[in-house]
Amino acid sequence: MNQFLGVAGLALIILVAAFCVVAWLAIRSRNMQVWLGSYLRRRPRAAVKGPTHIMFCFVDHYEPAWGRVDLETQRRRVDRWHTGYPAMASRHRDADGRPPQHTFFYPEEEYLPEHLDKIAGLCAQGYGEIEIHLHHDNDTPENFCATISRFNELLHARHGALSRDPQTGQLRFGFIHGNWSLDNSRADGRWCGLNNELILLRELGCYADFTLPSAPSETQTRTINAIYYATDDPCCPKSHNTGTPVKVGGTASGDLMIVQGPLGLDWKRRRKLIMPRIENSDVRHSCPPTPERVDAWVRTGIHVEGRPDWIFIKIHTHGTQERDMDTLLGDPMHAMHDHLETTYNDGQRHVLHYVTSREMYNIIKAAEAGMQGNPARYRDFELPPPPGVARWTSPALSPDRATEAVADIPGME
């Protein structure tokens, strides 16, 4: 009997050890060891009195030439958005009577005036804004600065994009790094080349980076589900791995604000019925924006420290890939917005605000400055709208007047 128990115990130990090895290999295969500890140590958001305001921001790595396709294919992709986005977005409104906002992070290396003209047209109708995206490799500080400066001026002068800082006159922009490799964060050093990229971005006028989360890529940071200031170490890569949280009553510190989207584990969608999938805020055909995912984004509760009643949800996509457009411009997107507008916009427990990346940054800065009340009134708190974007009527107006203001925007019903 004792011998049997000994064999059974040994078998159990071997089984547990094998499971641990398999689990660790699965974790390593998706680079989860980088951030899993932070996820397990997360603290719940503090309880709030009154409604929770939700700032919902959809950013797009908008790449018409993805896959190195010909010009006609690029045109079809952009035209699909030019007609399909207003048709989708015009059916939805937030608490301020405003339609969903889409921030097009356009890649410098794919610039074609005709594509930007069409996207700028959407922005002029009140559907979003244009910001900066860049894929580069083995770059130099001199070339990087020249590239970004030239593209900034081109977007502003030709397409009415980007804001000028009211204090300095400098063009300001939001940034998403191509291939997730902000600040040279790949272990092999590919798809960037600059250990001082955060410093360079700050000097060029970048107001915040919106690249993360990047899981399961190795470029994902240890810091997750946060809004923070990162300080660059020009001698080392991935300086944004950690940083100083943005907090009420605080001041800007470090070199660049990092605005992250929700990152976690999805136990309802398991791989091989065992391992949870990674919830990384990505929206596409293979991971549609279901009500369950929306609920998870809200529960994550990303906020400025000391302001738990204002939460920020930033999700992302690669909008020009054909396999995903039916999701991004069709029924799954309607279902996402319907869920947001019915479940998280009752005016008692939740109030919904659709924002661009610039507006999200402005509201974050307003929270940092201790502003209170309806956060939507701070959409232009620090940086004004770009010249080519339809100005929004103050949300301080009555709901009826706000709805009238939407109707005044060209292209709106």
- How much of the chain, in percent, has pLDDT values that exceed 70? 87
The answer to whether the pTM exceeds 0.85 is: yes
Statement: residue 198 has pLDDT above 80 = yes
**pLDDT number for residue 231:** 98
Distance from C-alpha of 278 to C-alpha of 270, rounded to nearest angstrom? 9
Q: Which residues pair with 58 in a beta bridge?
A: 102, 315
Judged by average pLDDT, the poorest of 78-82, 265-269, 347-351, 409-413 is 409-413
Distance from C-alpha of 253 to C-alpha of 330, rounded to nearest angstrom? 41
Nearest 5 degrees, angle CA 381-CA 385-CA 391? Answer: 105
Distance from C-alpha of 193 to C-alpha of 198, rounded to nearest angstrom? 12
DSSP 247: B
pLDDT confidence tier of residue 402, bands split at 50, 70 and 90 = very low
pLDDT average, residue stretch 28-44: 87
pLDDT confidence tier of residue 268, bands split at 50, 70 and 90 = confident
User: What is the average pLDDT value for the chain, to the nearest integer?
Assistant: 91
Those residues whose C-beta lies under 8 Å from the C-beta of residue 321, and which sit 6 or more positions away, are: 66, 67, 284
The domain locations on the chain are 32-408
**pLDDT number for residue 20:** 52
pLDDT average, residue stretch 231-254: 96
Statement: residue 119 has pLDDT above 80 = yes
DSSP 140: -
**pLDDT number for residue 413:** 32
Distance from C-alpha of 172 to C-alpha of 155, rounded to nearest angstrom? 11
pLDDT average, residue stretch 307-335: 97
pLDDT average, residue stretch 240-254: 96
Q: For the segment 181-194, what is each residue's pLDDT rounded down to a tens digit? A: 999 999 999 999 99
Q: Are 190 and 135 in contact (CB under 8 A)?
A: no
Tokens 């010249």, located at residue: 387
Q: Are 357 and 207 in contact (CB under 8 A)?
A: no
Closest-CA residue to 313 (of 106, 56, 37, 3): 56
- CA-based end-to-end distance of the chain: 80
Distance from C-alpha of 346 to C-alpha of 53, rounded to nearest angstrom? 11
Q: For the segment 73-98, what is each residue's pLDDT rounded down to a tens digit? A: 999 999 999 999 999 999 999 999 99
Distance from C-alpha of 396 to C-alpha of 161, rounded to nearest angstrom? 26
Q: For the segment 127-180, what is each residue's pLDDT rounded down to a tens digit? A: 999 999 999 999 999 999 999 999 999 999 999 999 999 999 999 999 999 999
**pLDDT number for residue 86:** 98
Distance from C-alpha of 345 to C-alpha of 341, rounded to nearest angstrom? 5
CA torsion angle for 268, 29, 22, 36 (degrees, to 10)?
-60
CATH of region 32-408, choose from 2.60.40.10, 3.40.640.10, 3.20.20.370, 3.40.605.10: 3.20.20.370
